[in-house]
Chains A and B, each alone.
Chain A
Amino acid sequence: MGQRTPLYDLHLALGAKMVDFGGWDMPLHYGSQVEEHHEVRRDCGVFDVSHMTVVDIHGDQAKQYLQHLLANDVERLQELGKALYSSMLNTEGGVVDDLMVYLTDFGYRVVVNAATRDKDLAWMNQQAEGFAVQLHERSDLAMFAIQGPHAREKTCEQVSQACAALINQLLPFQGLPEGDWFIARSGYTGEDGLEIMLPSDQAVAFFNDLVGAGISPIGLGARDTLRLEAGMNLYGQDMDESVTPLASNLAWSVAWEPANRDFVGRKALQQQLQRGISTKLVGLVLEERGVLRAHQVVRVDGVGEGEITSGSFSPTLNKSIALARLPVATCERAEVEIRGKWYPVRVVKPAFVRHGKALI
C-alpha cells in the first residue's frame, strides 16, 4: 500500500481509478481522462496535489542558502509572495529536482516533487551545512491545484471573504498567506489558476465544497497531458540527474548574473557551455494518426538520433505530441519509429497550447 493524501477515501467515493505515483496512491482519472483535460481547458477543475513536498526555509541565511542551492536566483524575488521556478543541481550540473520557491515573511517556501522527496531533503540538508537556516517539511499541509479559465472566479465563491479578496488581487506567479492557508496564482497546466495549501484537516471539506460547486475533480492522467501541451517538463521523464537544465529547455531558469554567485553546478554548466551543448529538448507533432510515447527513437536525417522523453495524445489538438531530446543541429523535420515503422514529425518549440489556444 502506498502513502495516501487526506483525500484518499473521497477520491474512491468520486469513482477514481487509483494508481501508484512515486509511492503515493493517487487518482489517475475519475472516469475519462480526456473529458477531464477538456474541462480544465474550457472551464476549470481541481487536482489533489497533496503528495507534493512543501519545505519552509527559516533562518538569517535563508537567502544565501538558496542562492547557493538553486540555479535560479532568489534575489529576483523582490516582493513578498513572488514566486520563482528553479532547478536544483548536483555538482556535475545534473538536475536533482525542479521546484517553485515563494518569498514569505518568515523566509521562503519551496515546493518540490513527491517522488523525489527523500533525495531532495537529504540533498537540501547536506547543502545547508554552514548556513544559519532551518528546514521544516510541512507534511501537515494538503495542496490543491484549481486550474482553468474560470478557476479563480469559481474558487472565490467557495472560500472566506478574506481568501476571495486575496485571490482577486493575486498577480500571476504570486502566493500569499491568508490565515493558515497559502494561496498562489500558479499551476502546471498552461491555464490561469490557483494552487492552495491548507491544513490537512480542512482538506476533505474544501475539496467537497469545490466538487459540490461543479468544479470537476481531475486526475494525474489529465495533469500529465495538460502539462505536456503546455510544454512543461516532468521531472524523472524529461530531465533527471544525467542531464543539465541547458539541455532541458530550462536555460531561461539559470541565473548567470551576478557572475560571483557560486551556485551548486555552476562550474559544470559553464564547462558544458564551453564544450558546446550536444542535445536540446524540443517539441514534436505527429501529423499522421498514431501516438508518440516516451522512449521511442527519433532520427534526424543527416544529423543523428535521439529519443522521446514524454509523448501522448493531445486532446486539445486532437493529434499526438511529444517532448524529445535531439541533437542540437536538429531543424524542422524528424522521424519517429512506432512499432517498426517510421513516421514523419514536425519539430516545434516545446509549447503546444497556452490559455486554451493552440500555439503550433
Chain B
Amino acid sequence: MDGLERYRGIVPEFERLIEAIVRPLPVTARINTLKTDRDRLLFRLREAKVPFQPFSWYSLGLKLDVEKPGNLIENLMGHIHVQEEISMVSPIILDPKPGERVLDLCAAPGSKTTQIASMMVNRGLLVANDPANTRVASLRSNCERAGAINVVVTRYDGRRFPSHEFDRVLVDAPCTGQGMARKDLSVLDRWSLKRSLGLQRLQRALLRRATDLAKPGGTVVYSTCTFAPEENEAVVSWVADQVERVRLEKVSIPGLESCPGLVEWDGSLFGDEMEKCIRYYPHQNDTGGFFVAKLIKE
C-alpha cells in the first residue's frame, strides 16, 4: 500500500481509498448494441435469472452478480462485453459519430475499441492499433465477437503511426496501472517513480503524435488507469505546451463523482487549465481509478 501514500495530500477522504483498494472490483459489462438492444438483453437476463443492476450514469452498463461472466451465453453471442465500469468513460468522452474516421492508438485488448465501434453503429472507419503481436490476438478476437465490421487492426508503433487524418483519436496509454489495484494489488508494489517517468516519455510521444493525426477541429482523448500525475497531468500539460493550436476542453460525466486534474504536483506547476481534466478514485464510484483529458485541435 506504500505506493499510494504519496497521494494522501491530493485524494479526498484518503482513508476510504485505502479501504476501497483491497476490495475486489464489481463484475461489470457493457451491452453491445451492434448485436442486441438494452431491452432485449435485460429481458434475457431476467428470464435466465442472472442477477444484475444497471449503472445509474450509463444506460449500457451493468453490474453482474455472477462469478464467471465469461461463461454467460450472452457473452458467447457478443451481446455483452465484460468491461470495467470506469473504463467505459473514455469512449463516451471521445464521443465518436457514425461515419467518422477514428483512431484508437493503443487499442488492445479492445474493450474501448468495441465500445467505439458500437457508438459508430458499425459505420465509417475505426483503426485499432497496437504494436504488440500477442495483444493483437485478443484485440481481433474481441472485435470479431462484438461483430465490428468497421474496424481495421494495425500494428504500428503508435509514436510513428503513419500520417492520416482522423476526426477523433483515443490514446488510452500504457501506464503503471495503479487504478487497477483492485484487480491485482501487486501493481502497487511494482510501481516506482522511475517506471512512471519511463512511461511518461512514451505517453508524451504517443499523445503528441495523436495531436498530429487529428484533423483541424478534431478531438483527442488521453486516458490512463493510474493515479501518478507524472503519467497524467505532466503528459497532457507538456503536449498542450509543445503543440500549437491545441486546447483543453472540460471533461465531465453527469452521475459520476470525480476530482479535477491537478494544477501542481511535487513542485511542478501544470497550470489552471489542468483542472479541465478529470480524476476518478476507486472509492468515489466503487470502480477502478482513472484519468481522462480531452484536447481539441484548432
Do A and B come from the same complex? no
User: Which A residues are closer than 8 A to B by beta carbons?
Assistant: none
User: Which B residues are closer than 8 A to A by beta carbons?
Assistant: none
